[in-house]
Structure 1
Amino acid sequence: MTQLRWGLLAAGTIAAEFAAGVDESRHGVLTAVAARSADRARDFATRFEIPKAYGSYEDLLADPDVDAVYVSTPHPMHREWAIAAAEAGKHVLCEKPLTVTAADAEEVIAAARKQDVFLMEAFMYRLHPQTRRLAELVSSGAIGEVRAVDVTFSYDVEDAEVERLGDLALGGGGILDVGCYCTSLARLVAQAALGVDVVEPEEVTGMAKLSASGVDEYATGLLRLPGDILARLSCGFRLAQEDGIHVYGSRGSITVPRPAWIHALRKPVTSQIVMTPHDGAPEVIEIEASQGLFAREADHVATHIGDRQAPELTWAETLANMRTLDRWREAVGYGRPS
């Protein structure tokens, strides 16, 4: 286990959540923050008592006191700065999606491999005990042979965020913003059911409501996964839906009414999984989380620094998910204005 000195590349909302998590972690310390505005970096540093604030990302990457970098820039900038961080010899935790396309993700992974640094895509929900318990139930055969999974992550964004999420140049749209959780979770269920490390869909189809600029405001996807497991996905940033996970098997079903990615479960609270056999009453399984989700993520990176990859979020896992997102966006006509 290593005591990691963290540098934050960008000072937005998600960076603030991660910074609070590092403060609560067992094996991390906040060392520096960088923003495009020096004033913004200083304000952020004051808020979280971070010793160093930089008005450029390059200055932070040149700091010898920074061991690991958390990249939370807009999506299209992930590739550039994750590669720059690796080339500076820094370990990298990069917000999801790792990049905008699978091809870009391959370049980031190649840089991490060449520079021999740790790299992980920040799908923090994968580390939550709820997610781990769901995978255990599926792999144990608790509901028999898995046949279908439904996943929904969809919301109606506040007006202040519409400009960013609706901007094609910024990698906007629901699929990249939250649909990536849906593909990740559906694939995880199939992997647990089949007892394999990584799966990709055999078929991908979908439809979406596209904006005038060509980003998906809300979308549906249908995946045929190995083993004839069908996944139905719903996501969006302009349509409030009831988030949830439903897994259907030959002997019963599993429901996760509040998935680990929702804001309320980022704190160390109790969540639930409901398992319903075809021939019995529902069983409510309570899941205790003893650590905040971002603190858990920071400690997970520290634990696996020497491995260069995290076992639950390997580079192969990231690439499989990125390729699935590419295919879903192609299916709905992403980038072609309505």
Structure 2
Amino acid sequence: MLNVSTFRLAAAAAAVTLMTAPATAETLRLAHWVPPAHTLTASTIVPLQEAVAGSGLEIQVYPGGELGAGPLEQYARVLTGVADIVWGLQGYTSSQFPRTMISELPGALPDGMNGYDMIYNAYDAGLLDAEFPGTVPLAMWLSEPNVFIMRDHDIRTPADLAGLKIRVSGSAAAAAVEALGATPVQMPAGEIYNALQTGLIDGVITGSSAIGDFRLDEVANSYTLGAPLGRISFYLLMNADRYNGLPEAELAALSAIAGRPLSASAEAGWNARALQVIEQISATGDNTVYTLTDDEAAAFAALTLPVRDAVVSGIEGGAEVLSTMRGGM
């Protein structure tokens, strides 16, 4: 039989255990729409999870549209709290991000500058605030250079594109495609495979990493590198109320990697994947992988580089944004 003294000792021990036990970990829901094997996981999600693990903060990932189908709705999901963190492309809702998407334009990124630095130069200067209401960017970065990914069409000159239907991710690439005499067709990346296979489109402008991430090598057979076609911008956003409401230690851990550090990891991952994919498709022997000569690239540049200046001039404050992005260049 338990005596009073023993009971009191047991109760005291239990109270100490409750007082010293760690608080229940905070869990954040991160939603995206691509498979877990996509470049996003190793380059961006895993480093984020590892950076906050010691703080007790947990990040639960919902890939493949598990928290809602449709990549165009990603911003709405984080804003309304369906997810705490989302990954997406500014280009899918281009009208919301006109200033950010200046970074995507042909010739916008200076040689030797990182894409994430370009975007954060403008963001840190307060020039992009209006484009991210209710959210905190955890990372923003650019892809590797866009390339032509074609089915049964070899691209060597702008004339080779005349009348073709080319898939684009957003308004920046669409403007470049129109300047080259082709018809831009905007659709999410997950729809490209079937569109190429069925002939709905003739080709794609996107980064070469997408060839591997979306198995486009199964339906495309001709790739042209070296044309100035711009890049693609990405975001990893968190609901602002959720971010600001985190306990102090968890917020500190998240803040330490958010911004340029996580963006650097993401961009490096995209670039590394791009190089890997180019090596793979070049080695198969059943693809045409062609890098334009300087003179051939110049013929494309004569049409695509003026697009940058035309688009920038049509955006209020666009010239200041581009100059700030480029570090005053």
- TM-score clears 0.5: no
Mark the structure with the bigger radius of gyration.
2
Larger helix proportion, structure 1 or 2? 2
- What is the TM-score when the length of structure 1 is the normalising length? 0.29
The structure showing larger relative contact order (alpha-carbon pairs under 8 Å, at least 6 residues apart) is 2
